[in-house]
Structure 1
Amino acid sequence: MARGHHPEPPESPHATGAAVDLTLCTAEGVPLWVGSDLQGVWSPHRPTEASAPDPVAAENRGHLRRAMTVAGFINYPVVWRHWSYGDRYWACVTGTRFACYGPVRGPGRRSG
């Protein structure tokens, strides 16, 4: 197990395929500065609405936020890098009656 990694319960957004942690990169795959690195767990700049440490980070976060929002994703405000579509949190925030994704037990059988 990686240091600092905690396995998520099967109903977590990441485990259902409904959430991603991501950042912006150049066409060559070089990460752009957004105020903290992708694994910046203890950074004071981790929350989405935290002030970015500099104008470049603020601009890049704005690009990420606009691109993901236009695509229908919602951000988990505790961390800038977490975006979801179709999980329970997404359904709650968007007013959608049901989540699109959830835990599955066994081949092809939904839990519940």
Structure 2
Amino acid sequence: MRLVLVLLVAMASPMAAHASKEDSVVNATLMCKWLDSLDLLSGKCVVAHKTSAVDVRMDTSKSDANDICKTIVSTLRGDGVKFDKGWKLRIAAAKGGGGRLAQCNL
């Protein structure tokens, strides 16, 4: 899992250094590819360009979603992946109308 992220970060390293709006979209797209490959999501990861968000659905509790959100952000920051101000990761419930379980700033 971590190897996939490291490889994606290595491919995006010139883009990750400055975190412009365009770079953020590229980094969000790479992040979605990584998350989709982990088999944790209920459905596909979505990059919402207009709202500067990465949206995912998970079959998990609100408490676990908060922990997952923080872990993902920590991993990305630790690997040098940066986003323009205002970008966020939003985790919604896989069932029951898809209410928001967690949100973290990227």
The interval holding the TM-score normalised by the smaller chain is 0.3 to 0.5
Query: TM-score, normalised to structure 2's length?
Result: 0.34
Query: TM-score, normalised to structure 1's length?
Result: 0.33
Q: Which has the larger radius of gyration?
A: 1
User: Greater strand percent: which structure?
Assistant: 2
